[in-house]
Amino acid sequence: MVKNKMRVFETARVGPGDRMLFPFSFGPHLGFWLAFDAAAQLGCLNIPAGGMSTEARLQAIRENRISVLCCSPTYALRLGESAGASDIGGAPSSVRAIIVGGEPGGSIPAVVSRIESFWPGARVYDHHGMTEIGSVSYPCPQRQGVLHVIESSYVAEIIDPQNGHPAMLGATGELVLTNLGRTGSPLLRYRTGDLVRAESAGQCSCGSWDLALAGGILGRLDDMVVIRGVNVYPSAVEDIVRSFPDIADFRAEIRKRREMAELRLLIEPSAECPHPSELEALLQGKLRATLALRVSVDVVPVGTLPHFELKTNRWIRR
């Protein structure tokens, strides 16, 4: 398991001399401990930053000249926003790599662009895994938004979740994994619930022969909602919302009226947004054009929505 996490770090060129900050409390989360141990084995100086405020973590990044940040996409945004709003003049320039996981955001183009805009000179590297089966993928070093399955550790299949048959090449399907070499928790044809799309078979431009997933994790089976007959994935909505630089954060609420599901977005403008009232119509228009769906959008005052350090809980069912 540590070996697979090291594969993720090596793709981001993490090695001796790097200083890594882990801005979260470890607790019982296996993935956090694996990341810390893998970085130590690669010769990094590891700095745990659990139990600290966002401001204290930013100060630690600056004082220790942190080169690699390991966190969720949401918290990378939170740190960047806080740095821009503080007196320090933006995010520290020493950070060259931000390794994210725990959410699909690291492969959503608008989210990646937003994070990198807060951290000049840094590149976002995505990966994913799960407690049941371990670290599954590593980022393509040449193509943003593409994940490679670690096929030295897994037999990977992509199936049609409706009938269990193999999905057509290029079609979206559910990732199914059989792990190799894990005597403590062997799993055969484990249905991950992750929706992915495989690229054509063959060698990637980066030189890898491992299965390439275009767009990374596209969504989860249990996350999809049907709004007036339209299949809506949270990752698709987030890609649209994050394309607006003046939107600091959002929350989605799903309500049922007469057995029909309705989607409502609450958006929080950034403190620098010159015309918050205009965001409502602009976002509604883009949602309608992209999803062919009418979505209710309401602007809320700055500081209204909760902020998260680990996995977010933006989708609420009423």
Q: What is the CA radius of gyration of the chain?
A: 20
pLDDT of res. 87: 62
pLDDT of res. 308: 67
Q: pTM for the whole thing?
A: 0.82
Average pLDDT, the chain: 87
Higher local confidence (pLDDT), 112 or 221: 112
Q: Are 84 and 118 in contact (CB under 8 A)?
A: yes
Q: Which fold has domain 2-126?
A: Rossmann fold (3.40.50)
Alpha carbons 116 and 110: distance in angstroms, whole number: 10
**pLDDT tens profile 206-230:** 889 999 999 888 888 877 788 877 8
252 has pLDDT over 70: yes
75 has pLDDT over 80: yes
Higher local confidence (pLDDT), 310 or 217: 217
265 has pLDDT over 90: yes
**pLDDT tens profile 79-99:** 988 887 766 666 788 999 999
CATH code of the domain made up of 130-220: 2.30.38
In words, the CATH class of domain 225-317 is: alpha beta
Q: Are 80 and 92 in contact (CB under 8 A)?
A: no
Q: What percent of the chain has pLDDT over 90?
A: 42
Can you give the residue ranges of every domain in the chain?
Answer: 2-126, 130-220, 225-317
Confidence of residue 5 (pLDDT cuts 50, 70, 90): confident
Confidence of residue 310 (pLDDT cuts 50, 70, 90): low
Higher local confidence (pLDDT), 312 or 268: 268
**Which residues have a Cβ under 8 Å from the Cβ of 13 and sit 6 or more positions away?**
97
**Sheet with 219-220, side-by-side order of all strands:** 154-159, 172-179, 190-197, 219-220
Alpha carbons 125 and 312: distance in angstroms, whole number: 19
Alpha carbons 20 and 249: distance in angstroms, whole number: 27
| Lowest mean per-residue pLDDT among 23-32, 40-49, 189-198 | 23-32
**pLDDT tens profile 281-305:** 999 999 999 988 889 999 999 888 8
Alpha carbons 95 and 92: distance in angstroms, whole number: 6
Mean of the pLDDT values across residues 102-121? 87
Confidence of residue 173 (pLDDT cuts 50, 70, 90): very high
